[in-house]
Amino acid sequence: MRRRYQDPIKSLYDNFNLPKRRRRDISLTIFSFAAFYVYLPIITGAPISKFSEKLGAGDFFYSLLIALPILGNALQIFASIILEKTKKRKPLFIICGIISRASWIMIGLIPLLLAAESQPSAIYWILLFMVISSVTNSMLGVGFFSWLGDLMPKGMMGRYFGLRESIGTIVSMATILFVSLYLDKHSSFESFAVVFAVAGAAGIIDILGFIFVTDVPMSTNPHPPVRQFIKKAFSSKAFFMYIVFWSLWALTFNMSVGFYNLYGLTYLKLSFMQVAVAGQIAFSSIAFFAAPRWGNALDKSGVHHVMLRAGVISSVIPLVMIFSVPGNMWTYVIFSLLNGLSLTAVNTTAQKMLTTATPETNRTMYIALYSVITSVFAVVGYLLGGVLLEVLGDTEFTFALIRWDRYKVLFSAAGLLRLAVILLIMPLMSKVLEDEN
């Protein structure tokens, strides 16, 4: 007998007996996230790598280019203070979100607005608008996760994030496929202006969806002075170890993650479409099936069980890339499939821990403190990767019958450091969390 199709979103709501209004609110956050996944792969994926190459930027500038979108997270403590003082979470979220996403439309237009002889200055104008986008984006992270924590039961977080990631991966695959086809045929600055305009418009649509989400009143408890709050937050061993683990993970992960697309376009000499298929499309195809399963595992088995397995996989798979050779995309495909399998679990775990490990009182400040510290480490990771590539220069050598280049050295070093974080730091964090709970 054939099983009847069950709507996964409706099933999730039914399991928690959510009222109609709350179902609508959460559905809006899911479908707004679909628009976000048109925006995200363009500003963080292969298009930004190709854009950087066309601008004639070096490795360090490229690392700065990919680091700036998250640099604003370091300002989330100030965004949190503003939110806690004003209690205007929804209007600030929407206004800052629109400014942040619209900045990418300007980034695409800058090379067109400047004369040919002024093109070198385009880099500085691009950095300026990236800073504007990043600073205003600081309000989004702290606002979204505190808002979400007030909207839904904690017990459904894992499945919610898994379901949301599945929908996002479908949209991401379609986006990068069309963008890749377009940029393979049209690689002028006009073409990048079109692509970034699409990204900015989709990002704005994502934000506008929240206009219709219920503005849940924030906690009326007054926020403590920043210094007093930080002292209180770090007096908790569990929160301290939580920060230590995710900061070191961000550092070691970001050392290499931003350079795979650039490696495919330069050293492997792949076309834009080949990089897209081997990278983001392969990643998204497996992530679509993995995300809901990891979400279920999180709710049933806990974060330690999931993160240990996913973290080990994520740490060793960069070693796959040492077997890559110019003109061959298949090692990149295998790497991306394994990366999609593991990284969906890592992201879902991080999101669930962020919403469940923070108390309702002054939650925005806890989230902001987490974001500030981990973002600084993430940016340092990007810059450290760029500096290492600059230092290694044109290094090439043969070891263990493998032809090594500077990118393979970077990928291997970052993976081994990440494995050390998983095996040495995570057990300590899990023990402290278990003792305090």
pTM of the entire predicted model: 0.74
pLDDT tens readout for residues 104-158: 999 999 888 876 555 667 888 888 898 899 889 888 877 887 788 788 777 777 7
Strand partners, 404: 397
CA distance 154 to 299: 10
CB atoms within 10 A of CB 368: 30
Report the pLDDT value the prediction gives residue 123, as an integer from 0 to 100.
80
Point out the least confidently predicted range of 60-64, 176-180, 223-227, 330-334. 223-227
pLDDT tens readout for residues 242-279: 889 999 999 999 999 888 988 988 888 888 888 888 88
Question: 117 burial class (0-12, 13-18, 19+ CB within 10 angstroms)?
Answer: exposed
Q: What are phi and psi of 403, to 5 degrees?
A: -85, 115
| pLDDT(1) > 50 | no
Determine the average pLDDT of the residues in 324-337. Answer: 91
CA distance 350 to 247: 11
Report the pLDDT value the prediction gives residue 435, as an integer from 0 to 100.
66
CA distance 140 to 213: 15
| pLDDT(221) > 50 | yes
CA distance 161 to 144: 13
Q: Is the model more confident about 161 or about 245?
A: 245
DSSP assignments along 155-216, one per residue: GGHHHHHHHHHHHHHHHHHHHHHHHHHHHHH--SHHHHHHHHHHHHHHHHHHHHGGGGS--P
| pLDDT(5) > 60 | no
What is the dihedral sign for C-alpha 164, 169, 170, 174?
Answer: positive
Report the pLDDT value the prediction gives residue 6, as an integer from 0 to 100.
64
Residue 393 Rama label (left phi>0; alpha psi -120 to 50; beta):
left
DSSP state of 219: P
Residues in the chain: 437
Determine the average pLDDT of the residues in 10-31. Answer: 84
Q: Per mean pLDDT, which of 54-58, 61-65, 103-107 is the most reliable?
A: 103-107
Report the pLDDT value the prediction gives residue 358, as an integer from 0 to 100.
63
Q: Assign 204 a pLDDT band (cuts: 50, 70, 90).
A: very high
Q: Assign 197 a pLDDT band (cuts: 50, 70, 90).
A: very high
Residue 160, amino acid: Y
Q: Return the structure tokens found at 182.
A: 């377009």
CA distance 155 to 167: 20
Q: Is the model more confident about 385 or about 431?
A: 385
In this structure, are residues 374 and 247 in contact, taking their beta carbons and an 8 Å threshold?
Answer: yes
Long-range contacts of 262-268 (CB under 8 A, 24+ apart): 262/49, 262/52, 262/53, 262/62, 263/321, 263/407, 264/46, 264/329, 264/332, 265/46, 265/49, 265/50, 265/53, 266/53, 267/326, 267/405, 267/407, 268/324, 268/325, 268/326, 268/327, 268/328, 268/329, 268/332
Report the pLDDT value the prediction gives residue 304, as an integer from 0 to 100.
78
Q: What are phi and psi of 203, to 5 degrees?
A: -65, -40
Residue 361 Rama label (left phi>0; alpha psi -120 to 50; beta):
beta
Provide the mean pLDDT of the chain. Answer: 84
Report the pLDDT value the prediction gives residue 411, as an integer from 0 to 100.
94
| pLDDT(3) > 60 | no
Above pLDDT 70, what percent of the chain?
A: 92
| pLDDT(17) > 80 | yes
Distance of CA 387 to the CA centre of its chain: 22
Determine the average pLDDT of the residues in 80-91. Answer: 85
Question: For 324-362, where are the alpha helices, taking DSSP H only?
Answer: 330-356
Domains assigned to the chain: 20-214+231-436 (1.20.1250.20)
pLDDT tens readout for residues 351-387: 777 666 666 666 667 777 887 888 889 889 988 998 9
